[in-house]
Amino acid sequence: MIVIENANQILTIPPGSTGPKRGWEMQDLGIIEKANIWIDNGKVVKISREKPEGEYEGIDAQGKIVLPGFVDPHTHPVFAGYRDFEFSLKLKGMSYEEITKMGGGINYTIKMTNESSYDEIFEQSSKRIRKMIEHGTLAAEAKSGYGVNVEREIMLLDIIRDLGEKYPIDLIPTFLLHFPPKNMDREKYIDEILKRMDVISKKAKFADVFCDSIAFNVIETKNFLTNAQKYGLKLRMHADEIEYIGCSSLGLKIHLKSVDHALKTPKTILRAYSKKDTVFVLLPGTPFMLFQKKYANARYMIENNIPVALGTDLNPNCYTENIQEIITLAVTQMKMSIEEAISAVTFNAAYSLDIHDKHGSIAPGRPANILIADVPSYTHFAYHFGINLIEKIIKDGKVVKI
């Protein structure tokens, strides 16, 4: 038996009444003050102000807060090919599309990922996974996508599986149709992937498409996602990041667990999502690292009852493992409240990945995926920025040593 003792605040994060948290529900962190949490057999047993008795291992949380492990619902952690040198191009005013069209950007990472071995990619990606855990992420969606070549994509899914087995984090694998290959007809390429779907669907839980002006169009996206769904994969979509070409509108006709980015989504389309359980996964790190002024319209989404989650988008263009930094960006750049941002990186992120029975909330009977942060109040998130506030990590009831 472990008892986390005397926490200043426990953020229990109650689920939403319709599934994901929406509207005012995102403000409710279910805070219990000056209480203890009992953990046994990997699960939370009790949350109470009672004094613990008998034999137990105590973890002192006096003056600190306790919250559920963070869930990062959108990451691209398996790749080789850093793009630090692109900073100087961005500083000269080059856009993401221009860099990509020149053969840089995604193209560069695809080339490097194809030239690296399993071991090299595993090694690089391990460092990222460890950093995610250190910063409190205990579950994360992890996409393939920098292989493009279908066999390389399958290898990336294997790397994601092996990383999840080695480290104390639940990685949810997504097959991402990321970028059209250089030397192959696009339709033929999608067909080739669909022919390998029997294998892919055993290795991935979700299918995703980069649906945008520089990647796949709406017809290609629909073809791929509807076929992937027949193999039992659930669906997500990178939509309206660079331009609105109808991607989020397609999402109204097929069941998406998440619409991601949504930088350019028209308000009329957003309103149509108000009653759906599709979660909008906002990724403010991306416009931030592209030196853009315009962020997703989080306020409009929350006011219209659309469930919102936040993710890092960890990738070689937006290179951070730290979801706490994303809370700061969400509050300062998108005017989300701290409460909304915390709901967005816990329960709503978990809901978008269908892991909300295991992650995103603290309650008796649920697996103990818990963080202790060395701050007196949750309001230190966003405010005390640029550093790691997490002091102790408990994954499935065990204290993590990383």
Provide the binding-site residues for ligand NIG, judged by CB under 6 A: 76, 105-106, 109, 210, 238, 241, 286, 313, 315-317
- Of ligand NIG, Fe ion, none, which one sits near residue 286, judging by CB under 5 to 8 A according to partner kind? ligand NIG
DSSP per-residue codes, 158-175: HHHHHHHHHSSSEEEEEE
Residue 226 contacts residue 246 (beta carbons within 8 Å): no
Query: H or E element: which one contains 230?
Result: helix 218-230
Q: Name the phi and psi angles at 44, rounded to 5.
A: -75, 130
Residue number with CB closer to Fe ion (3 or 281):
281
Angle at 367 between CA 48 and CA 395, to 5 degrees: 105
Q: Give the Å distances, CA to CA, from 389 to 36, 66, 125, 197.
A: 20, 11, 23, 41
Residue nearest to ligand NIG (CB): 317
Binding characters for Fe ion, 312-351, by CB under 5 A (x = yes): -x--------------------------------------
Q: Measured from the CB of residue 167, what is the shortest distance to ligand NIG in angstroms?
A: 23
> Of 248 and 315, which CB lies nearer to ligand NIG in the complex structure?
315
C-alpha 46/C-alpha 54 separation (Å) is 15
**Number of shown-chain residues binding Fe ion (CB under 5 A):** 1
Greatest distance between any 2 Cα atoms in the chain? 69
> Using CB distances below 5 to 8 A depending on partner kind, what does residue 224 bind out of ligand NIG, Fe ion, none?
none
Binders of Fe ion in range 172-231 (CB under 5 A):
none
Query: What are the backbone dihedrals phi and psi of residue 306, each rounded to the nearest 5 degrees, phi first?
Result: -90, 130
When CB distances are held under 5 to 8 angstroms depending on the partner's kind, the choice from Fe ion, ligand NIG, none that residue 20 binds is: none
Distance CA 107, CA 100 (A): 7
Choose among Fe ion, ligand NIG, none what residue 251 binds, the Cβ cut-off being 5 to 8 Å by kind.
none
Give the angle 212-214-218 at the CA atoms, nearest 5°.
35
Which CB atom, from 78 or from 190, has the smaller least distance to ligand NIG? 78
* Minimum distance from residue 286 beta carbon to ligand NIG (Å): 5
Identify which of residues 29 and 289 has a Cβ nearer to ligand NIG in the complex.
289
Q: Which does 317 bind (CB under 5 to 8 A by kind): ligand NIG, Fe ion, none?
A: ligand NIG
Token pair recorded at residue 171? 């990685």
Q: Which does 113 bind (CB under 5 to 8 A by kind): ligand NIG, Fe ion, none?
A: none
- What SS3 state is found at 123? helix
Taking the complex as a whole, the smallest distance from the CB of residue 146 to Fe ion amounts, in Å, to 11
| Residue 321 C-beta: closest distance to ligand NIG, Å | 15
Q: Which residue is nearest to Fe ion (CB)?
A: 313
Which of the listed partners (ligand NIG, Fe ion, none) does 106 bind, with a CB threshold of 5 to 8 Å by partner kind? Answer: ligand NIG
CB of 361 to Fe ion, least distance (A): 25
Cβ atoms 340, 302 nearer than 8 A: yes
Q: Which of residues 75-104 bind Fe ion (CB under 5 A)?
A: none
How far apart (Å, rounded) are the C-alpha atoms in residues 138 and 72? 8
- The DSSP H or E segment spanning 261 is strand 256-261
Q: How far is the CB of 201 from ligand NIG (least distance, A)?
A: 22
Distances (CA, A) of 23 to 32, 104, 119: 22, 40, 45
Residue 313 or 340 with smaller CB distance to Fe ion: 313
